[in-house]
């Protein structure tokens, strides 16, 4: 169960970085997921080693290990993920440039977790136009049958 929890933490870190920094360069996701696999195997080996020793059986150590895992993995991800502007997210953070609401919304749209408002508005407009056209056709058909 502990390994599943730590795997979930690694995946959560990946999704958080993808959502917060959606303007990544080509190949960035491959790099990110490669590091996620490396982090998984490092975590797996360290978990097995610490479980073999008494140290890995305490809740305090496991909590500290989880915190260190998340901080270390996020540090690596933020330093290696190439963005379109040629910088990394860590460089942006050092300059005081943080993700905005628009960045997070774009990241959620890229993952398909939210609907794009433009497309939704266009769809609603098309539906209303089609319903008006159907009413006109219905009226024409009724007029033809009356005559």
Read off the pTM. Answer: 0.71
147/106 same-domain check: no
**Residue 25 pLDDT grade (very low, low, confident, very high; cuts 50, 70, 90):** confident
74/93 same-domain check: yes
Sign of the C-alpha dihedral computed for residues 10, 12, 16 and 22 taken in this order: positive
Residue 124's pLDDT is 76
102/121 same-domain check: no
Query: What is the domain range of residue 131?
Result: 116-147
- Domain count for the chain, please give it: 2
DSSP type of residue 83: B
32/92 same-domain check: yes
49/12 same-domain check: yes
71/136 same-domain check: no
91/24 same-domain check: yes
Using an 8 Å Cβ cutoff, are 24 and 84 in contact? yes
> CA–CA separation, 34 vs 124, rounded Å?
41
Task: Measure Cα distances from 23 to 36, 70, 81, 110 in Å.
Answer: 19, 22, 10, 10
What does the pLDDT look like over 47-84, one tens digit per residue? 888 888 877 778 888 899 899 999 999 999 999 988 89
Select from 18, 27, 35 the least CA-distant residue to 99.
18
């Amino acid at each position: 169960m502990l390994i599943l929890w730590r795997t979930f933490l690694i995946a959560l870190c990946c999704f958080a970085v993808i959502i917060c920094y959606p303007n990544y360069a080509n190949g960035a996701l491959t790099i990110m997921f490669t590091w996620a696999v490396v982090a998984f195997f490092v975590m797996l080996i360290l978990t097995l080693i610490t479980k073999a020793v008494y140290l890995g059986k305490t809740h305090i150590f496991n909590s500290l290990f989880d915190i260190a895992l998340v901080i270390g993995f996020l540090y690596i991800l933020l330093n290696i993920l190439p963005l379109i502007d040629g910088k990394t997210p860590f460089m942006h953070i050092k300059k005081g440039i943080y993700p905005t609401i628009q960045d997070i919304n774009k990241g959620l749209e890229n993952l398909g977790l939210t609907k794009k408002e433009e497309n939704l508005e266009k769809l609603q407009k098309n539906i209303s136009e089609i319903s008006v056209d159907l009413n006109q056709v219905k009226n024409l058909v009724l007029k033809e049958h009356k005559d």
